[in-house]
Every structure is written in C-alpha cells, then in structure tokens.
Amino acid sequence: MNELRGRQGGGSWWYLLLIIQFVAVLWPAFYNRAEPTLAGMPFFYWYQLAWVLIGAVLTAIVYFVTEAEARNR
C-alpha cells in the first residue's frame, strides 16, 4: 500500500521531453515546403522522418530515467 502512495505523489520533469516531439510537428505550416531537399526527399517528408527517430530517442531517455527513479524509491 505504501508503494502505491509513493507513486501517486509527484510527477517527473523528464516527461516534459515528450512534449518537444509533439510541438515540433504540431504546426505543419512551419515545415510545409519542399526545400531544402535531403537525398532528393523534400523537407516536408524528411523533417517528419527525422522526428520519428528523435521521438524514439527521447522516449527511450524518458523511459530509462524514470524507471531508474522508480527503482531507487
């Protein structure tokens, strides 16, 4: 029972990293263009693809850090 109370207490600031990926693709007018191209791929596509990879890295960081915090409690 005490373990459940500890988890309900406070959140972790690490979860704010997940907002970065959300905000980066939230407004398509920012990246809705063809130039610059990367290997013949328009900016619109490679920007979104880059954020898929960046999002995976950010999610992994948040997961490992918050799991370590949970184990230390």
Please give the model's pTM, rounded to 2 decimal places. 0.74
Quote the DSSP letter at residue 38. B
Q: Mind listing the pLDDT tens digit of every residue in the chain (73 residues)?
A: 455 445 554 577 889 989 998 999 998 888 999 999 999 999 999 999 999 999 999 999 999 999 988 888 7
pLDDT at 1: 44
pLDDT at 29: 87
Residue whose structure tokens are 């995976």: 56
